[in-house]
Amino acid sequence: MGEWQSKKVLVTGGTGFIGSHVVQALLAEGARVRVLAHYNGGGHLGNLGELPSPERAEVEVVWGDLRDADSVRRAVKGMERVLHLGALISIPYSYQDPRSYVDVNVTGTLNVLVACRDAGVERLVHTSTSEVYGTPDTVPIAETHPLRGQSPYSASKIGADKLVESFYCSYNLPVVTLRPFNAYGPRQSTRALIPTILTQALWAPEIRLGSLWPRRDYTYVTDTARAFLKAGSAPGIEGMVLNAGYGADISVGELAAMAMQLTGRRVPVVEVAERVRPRASEVARLLCDRTLAGQRLGWEPEVPLEEGLRRTLAFIERRFTPEILKQTILSPDPVHGRAAQP
């Protein structure tokens, strides 16, 4: 991808799960990367801290807040391309504090759009989520499927997506919306579904989850990161929305069974009431139609689910111990303990 050599690129959310992999992929392609990191008082770099020291040293970190238009404007200044991944993503927490999701995901995206418009960036990639489709009318789900706000999180992302659409139509802003389907892999929060299942399959006396019947389309994070780079460089796609998913789905219960096969342990799988989403809010199935991404980006996922789970499991075993994870995997989590992917 020579399109990124020496390009000045801002990544919002670059200290997060997907964002840190996008940063790593950009560095490998020779980009000059700046990350807008949320100020935390301790200078913690989140998942960027997992990068090897030579790579980490190449990243310019600027501290700020997506909700603050001035800090966003300063971060965008001098950049040629912007990859906007910064967002609040936990569905359970969105039930408890929906206003914060509007503040960060909607107002924060507006601040990014205005800053990019005023700075004249050559390409902005905005991150959507497959959750905006809600329970689908038909599968696989194409980009033309209606949007449904079945949680405050998904509603906030729909609002952000529509602001992006309006800036393309009103100001001819060169923006592309990428809509990932359930990314997973190393560095993901242990509260997210796949790490939750894998850690419990390794060490817990039982696997405690929310609803076991919903089906999701899981995409390994390095494949998702490649999709972002493609969306940031492919010609002639301004104004488009593109799905990025593997194109196969699996239920939560089936995923738990696969995890136990990989760990070699058999433990009970228990549906815990406090981790179940409200019935009308649960999205029954997400299965990606990635035809458009294949045609316009030349993107295809490379890592099948079983191989991706093996890699994720190996990371968890290297990175954590049962003692470190005990409080995380066994403590009750509000609503159901699952995080959506942006």
* Residues assigned a catalytic role: 153
Which amino acid would we find at residue 297?
A: L
Determine the Cα–Cα distance for residues 55 and 27; give it in Å rounded to an integer. Answer: 7
User: What's phi and psi for 236, nearest 5 deg?
Assistant: 70, 25
Q: How does DSSP classify residue 269?
A: E
- Which parts of the chain are beta strand (E)? 8-12, 32-38, 60-64, 81-84, 123-127, 175-180, 183-184, 207-209, 215-216, 219-220, 241-244, 250-251, 269-271
CA distance linking residue 23 with residue 20, whole number of Å:
5
Name the residue among 280, 306, 292 with its Cα closest to residue 142.
292
Residues in the chain: 342
Burial letters 95-109, b for 16+ CB under 10 A, else e: beeeeebbbbbbbbb
* Torsion angle defined by CA atoms of residues 337, 342, 291 and 299, in that order, rounded to the nearest 10 degrees: -110
Task: State in Å, rounded, how far the first CA of the chain is from the last one.
Answer: 24
Q: How far apart are CA 291 and CA 11, in angstroms?
A: 26
